[in-house]
Amino acid sequence: MGMAVGCNVGDRHAMFEPIHGSAPALAGKDKANPLAMILAVGEALAVGWGVSATMSGLPGGEVGAAAVAAAVREGTTLPADLVGEARGAPMSKVGEAVRHAIAEHV
């Protein structure tokens, strides 16, 4: 569930979210998995709503997915829900890994 995105799209409104919810038990602990939220933002960009964004030659909606995929392939900075508590990285480090993937690989 840490990577699943929910999209509710209508004619005039849309809502994008990670399906795992807000994880209030993890608030302030730097332990949440940010990957689904990053993917949800990518889905929002993909829908467009009149916005055309590109980055590194990719449509805006594909940038987040490509960066998450690159970070997962790299495999050293993943959240605990994907690799277990012993190997899991803090949310801030996972976010940095995705940001690095955007800058370096996408």
The pLDDT of 76-96, averaged and rounded, is 95
| Domains of the chain, residue spans | 30-104
Which pTM value belongs to this model? 0.82
Phi, psi dihedral angles at 37 (to 5 degrees): -70, -40
> Is residue 40 helix, strand or coil?
helix
| 9: region left, alpha or beta (phi > 0 left; psi from -120 to 50 alpha) | beta
Q: Model confidence over 8-32: pLDDT tens digits? A: 988 888 899 988 877 889 899 999 9
Residue 23 to residues 18, 30, 71, Cα–Cα distance (Å): 10, 11, 22
Residue type at 23 in one-letter notation:
A
Q: Is the pLDDT of residue 100 over 70?
A: yes
> Is residue 8 helix, strand or coil?
strand
